[in-house]
A and B are shown apart, each in its own frame.
Chain A
Amino acid sequence: MSEPKHPEDLLPWYVNGTLAPEELRQVEAHLGACAHCRKEVALLKGLRERIRQAGAEAGPGALARQRLLRDIRKPARNRRPVWFPTVAIAATLVIALQAAIIASLWQSPSGTIVPLGSVPPQEAVLQVRFAPGATEAQIRAAIGEVHGRFVDGPGALGVYRIRLEGLGRDQREQIDRQVAWLRQQSPVIAHVEYE
């Protein structure tokens, strides 16, 4: 007698609870008699749990909500009023001024200001969001520890771009070590990603 076919292709959806009633009955009947598929289900349940945990830990931050509420007050692009170009130019000037002020805050010890968006593609750059309670001294210490240099930011969501001095994109092992170390600095670093 041939072995019954394993319903392998249905197991992920058995685990997430979305099978149709007939498929569910089929899988449940099979699982009662198949240790192989029960182990597969155990693995898939564990995988789902890990993926959901990782998703829950990542978040856009409170500023994302404020950004949306700000943006919905803006008129839609195709309904711009006649005064829009003037306001847009003024807003651009304000942003440029803010960028210059922020760049000056993060001046390097030698006094050189790094122009925004000037990172050559071969250099290692991280995107970092700091914890709300982090002090400037803590931030400086953490970024100094990985020989980081602020090159851009903050973005609308408080994300900064930080270049790892002396590291190229091809030095992934060292970059990963620096990222892992920053991820451990939870009182200071809220989130860090390699760009």
Chain B
Amino acid sequence: MQAEQTETDSAQDLLARIAQGETAALERFYDQYHARVYAFALSRLGNTADAADILNEVMLEVWRHANRFEGRSRPLTWVLGIAHHKAIDQLRRRKEPHVDVDEVDIPDDVPTAADALAGLEDAERVRQCVEKLSAAHRLVVHLAFYDDLSYPEIAVLADCPVGTVKTRMFHARQLLKRCLAGWTKISGQHRP
């Protein structure tokens, strides 16, 4: 927790320097956050070229508008919020639905955690199971497990109530368990 606070302080300092036009500060900020932003965009868009574009746009926005960071959230949450909105814009341009619907059939029968654990041994299987999730479920899973965001932070970023975040995570876990246990076929169907 202390390391996280130090990282936040350091990033806030960097943002203040970026707002003054200091390129070296932007480079350090980039080093600190580019992997998170890129992985987030890749998770949302499923395409490396688009993810790289989003990363570039987000960092340009940080460069031009660092003074808009008000310190009400962690810099990570702020920067992922920018990426989230840019990803939605990108999906709009592709004419794909950007509204994260929860209208996915959630089966009642779910394998045990022990049955699903075996599926974790195959990294490719895990990747395919995560990719099969709906955009709304994948977003929550990514932010919780890759970015270690709390559920209130995810609720702010995804612009939904905390109860919705918990429900989406619960349903995502059920679907992932079924997939990891081999109860559902991995079609390999490309997103979305």
Chain A contacts to B: CB under 8 angstroms:
8-9, 12-13, 15-19, 36, 39-40, 42-44, 46-48, 50-56, 58-61, 64-65, 67-69, 71-72, 76, 127, 129, 155-157, 159, 172-173, 176, 191, 193-195
Contact = CB atoms under 8 A, between A and B. Distances in A.
Contacts of A194: 190
A47 to B, nearest CB: 6
B60 A64 contact: no
Contacts of B173: 12, 44
A170 to B, nearest CB: 11
Interface in B43-74: 46-49, 51-52, 55-56, 59-60, 63-64
A135 B1 CA distance: 46
Interface in B147-167: 148-151, 153, 166
9 contacts: A13-B151, A16-B148, A16-B149, A18-B151, A52-B146, A72-B23, A129-B48, A156-B56, A195-B47
A36 B27 CA distance: 46
Question: Considering residues B1, B145, B151, which has the most beta carbons from chain A within 10 angstroms of its beta carbon?
Answer: B145
Chain A residues touching B, majority SS? helix
A13 B145 CA distance: 9
Interface residues on B, range: 35 or more
B50 to A, nearest CB: 10
A72 B127 contact: no
Contacts of B123: 50, 53-54
A55 B141 contact: no
Contact of A12 (B38, B169, B189): B169
A71 B27 contact: no
A72 to B, nearest CB: 5
Interface stretch (B84-92, B96-104, B112-120): B112-120
Contacts of B83: none
Given A47-B126, A51-B145, A60 B60 contact: no
B175 interface: no
Given A12-B144, A65-B30, A43 B116 contact: yes
A157 to B, nearest CB: 5
Nearest to A38: B113
Contact of B27 (A69, A76, A195): A69
Given A9-B170, A43-B177, A51-B126, A58 B30 contact: no
Q: Which 5 A-B pairs have the closest CB atoms?
A: A18-B150, A39-B113, A55-B39, A48-B145, A43-B113
A18 B188 CA distance: 33
